[in-house]
Structure 1
């Protein structure tokens, strides 16, 4: 999830306001940013500026914005999605202001320009932020797609014209990946090639927010003589809002799911949510035979056109097993890599982009520590200063001496619980007798042998008795060797009691524990 604050002469703006799904907690609740340090410092953003419409950039706005009440600036699609979210919560929408890509605005001491770039959702923009004599390029999420299905490719001259910039705050998500990411146009061809020889009904699952992919699937279906239906509320909402803004103009006419039974099997294609194995999503309901109007059977095919988000691997495998029991044929990007493309820049794209904008410094964000370090290495290779790999809660200063970490603020995880924002309960039961607080996070990867811990413990025990980190890590590794959970929530439920028991054995006073499990890509196991 993303929320960045920029301050100059005691005036502040916020960039993006996203959420994440806590896969390691029961019910997979939404986690939103902790505003406690902002409130403590007396920071009140004068505007919320949105780079694009993905949930990890806008998903918390309807929950946190009421504490600010400031203007919100967003491009048309992101603004439309925010309107929908605000309306659902009964919030006024007059604070949402539409900004076209390429336009400029002024907020307090800040001058901002929206610079269009390509990503997996239209109207994604980098922000050129000028405050005093400093010029910062906040990239948001991006890639260099030479042939996007929606919108135009990046114009190199737009970015060459702003060079040099003092600082790039840049996307690190695919920094370890060599070469260049695949174009969405290539995925469109791969989808058509995969669908064309299939004879039964076809279900293709992807992220609802990846509108380029949704359009590619629809066009492929149309060329293969198939009619289209949508399955999943988020898919229906995204397509409806995009069409209302003039996108997807050549999207084929939709057939209601309840009417698909009247069509020959070879003429049916469904675009469905649920590629991550979410139990309540459309694809899981199909696998379980719980959809009222559509039942999978032998001869049908299911195509996964999305990568597995780390931590979801076992849920996805369980879903695929259930689908195989229905007799369907499965296709995914493991068998056919062309069925998916990342929306983030690989190494060659990063180098090309930095040749355009000539940054003096880089702050690598958006990714795990290994992604940030890979991004940092590319910067140093290009003689770009990159002294920091920031963490959530860091307060960083940019001045004539460069980038400096002024202070780190400890953040308490907050989730949406019964329609309210609440801190995650660290210890079970009454924590009033606990002594101090301990924040512990671990990164794990799903392998064929089970769960494997990656990297060091992320530990903050400054408010409790000192811990033997090596001994604690060894104990967690022992528990992981026998842990049988399919999901991060299962895994946390297994590890938490043992963690508390270990603390009781090794500390005179047991603290209130905030324990979080992050998933990383299985590839990290090989790198380890």
Structure 2
């Protein structure tokens, strides 16, 4: 263990994943304030929604730590979910620190780095389950946990000022089917040694009891799939390899062969096989050949459980998938939960499937076909009983989750609790835990394949146009600034009713634009930019009068 100096501090800094579920990006710093060394734990993404039109992927903003990139000792990844590793391939060039992961996670990460052309440059060190890493003053022990993906790890981070247990995502599953159960003995030993702080998953803090075991899901899927007659599709998270395995074995028990539908399914299956999982199942049927099988002899394992527009199941529901179709007498099982915010696209997807005559099975009407990968309150209480930390630092949750988690930890007699937001630097030691600094923390949008600022002009204009509509005005002037043709006006996304036909409204707007030009005098008639500004202002005022909105107005002035 490194020696401790009088000025040394141990700090925790979330730049993503605190006050939100997703986009996990956690930093631990050690040393004097002017010369801290850092490790990064996870570097994930979140997804766009109705408030970010055109943006599917959102990244954490690494600006703060980028300025200290030369003092980053390593990026350690707890597991292979997108909200924990999805940003690595885009943000690694801004940090260029060594990467550490267990074999399954490393397989997935290599594929992502290959797609970005970084595989040769970004070095990944594979760490075995239960392995150790020494990074400057940090000594890291991987703790085997259970979750909804292979090889989930907690991390015991030992420093001269104390030990932190960073749980990552976890649950307590006595029978996870794939991989070992939670290493409770290791956590108890850490508790006996003394844990300064536990940085812990808060996702299900409002849910009583236990999340449930993956073995229970398998027990529910086997009779359900066995009793269906037509073609069967099952939608689940591709990363939940244990669920994939359960579906496959339920299909085989029913005499069905399995076709994977969706790129993520193929990628995760390849990663699982690379570490020895799913070794004894039958070969998958290519979706191009699956239609040759009788309906009661095939099962499609599909991506798209969250209603993603371009995923396999949405294309099947639209009838646009080139190889897979479902219809009357067929069934679709949603072996997944509804992620908050995805309610509308999932409902739309399910309605489209139902309209085709497909019978739907969801966790709402068949609760046993899905269990969460995150700890409920009884599991949280058990983890605190094993670890016995001095400080509880809730993470992986919205604000209400973090505050409830802190209150729960207080009820469990944890001496201190702190609930940072993204950008809040928490000093864990020496002294009492407290927020000592606020650093820049924000989001970057992947928009049209480009990484753009959170409040960039393009998205702001897109939002404005989506709500207010667009008006395009063009006018042709001669050399003296007299109107030769136009103004011509076109609208996009603006309403009309029986009392105001489209032509009448356009004529009114054209008159407003013409008057704006006629009011201009002298040299202003020679200034195209001034004319465009005057027309745009006039059109916006008229739009406010007609519709109560101020649309985006694009004005073009041509000269002859």
TM range (shorter): 0.7 to 0.9
Structure 2 distance, partners of 1:240, 1:430, is 40
* Aligned mate of 1:35, from 31, 39, 62: 62
Say if 1:30 and 1:416, in contact at 8 Å, map to a contact too. Answer: yes
1:24-423 matched pairs, under 5 angstroms? 24-40=51-67, 44-93=71-120, 95-163=123-191, 164-423=194-453
The structure-2 alpha-carbon separation of the partners of 1:279 and 1:429, relative to structure 1 and needing over 3 Å to count, comes to closer
- In 1, Cα distance between equivalents of 2:333 and 2:323: 20
* Greater than 6 Å deviation, 4+ residue runs: 428-431
Aligned partners of 1:150, 1:63: CA distance in 2, in Å? Answer: 30
Q: CA deviation at 1:149?
A: 1.2
- Distance across 2 between alignment mates of 1:349 and 1:387: 18
CA RMSD of aligned residues (A): 1.8
Maintained 8 Å contact 1:243/1:249: yes
Q: Is the 8 A contact 2:55 2:446 kept in 1?
A: no
Contact 1:219/1:252 (<8 A) preserved: no
Higher Rg: 2
- Native 8 Å contact 1:47 1:73 kept in 2: yes
Partner Cα distance (2:197, 2:70) in 1: 23
Query: SS state of the match for residue 415, structure 1?
Result: strand
Structure-1-length-normalised TM-score: 0.79
**What's the CA shift for 1:386?**
4.0
C-alpha change, 1:412 and 1:204, in structure 2 (3 Å) is same
Indicate if the aligned counterparts of 1:44 and 1:68 stay in contact, CA closer than 8 A. no
Whole-Å separation in 1 of the counterparts to 2:174 and 2:459: 55
1: distance between equivalents of 2:375 and 2:460? 46
Unaligned runs of 5+ in 2: 1-22, 462-540, 545-560
Rounded Cα–Cα distance in structure 2 between residues aligned with 1:265 and 1:39: 54
Name the residue aligned to 2:29: 7
* Separation in structure 2 between the aligned mates of residue 95 and residue 234 of structure 1, nearest angstrom: 23
Which of 34, 37, 46 is the equivalent residue of 1:20?
A: 46
Secondary structure in structure 2 of the residue aligned to 1:402 = coil
TM-score (norm 2): 0.75
* Alignment deviations for residues 154-191 of structure 1 (CA, whole Å, 9 cap, x no partner): 13211111112010000000111101111010011111
Q: 1:373-427: per-residue Cα shift (whole Å, max 9, x none)?
A: 2211221111103432111111111123221101223433211234332202356
Which residue of structure 2 aligns with residue 439 of structure 1? none
Which residue does 2:9 correspond to in 1?
none
Query: Would the alpha carbon gap of residues 182 and 26 (structure 1) be closer, same or farther in structure 2, given more than 3 Å must change?
Result: same
* Structure 1 residues 39 and 257, CA gap change in structure 2 (3 angstroms): closer
155 and 425 in structure 1: CA distance in 2 versus 1, 3 angstrom threshold: closer
Give me the whole-angstrom Cα distance separating, in 2, the residues matched to 1:428 and 1:354.
Answer: 46
**Contact 2:392-2:416 within 8 A present in 1 as well:** yes
Shift of 1:429: 8.9
Match of 2:522 in 1: none
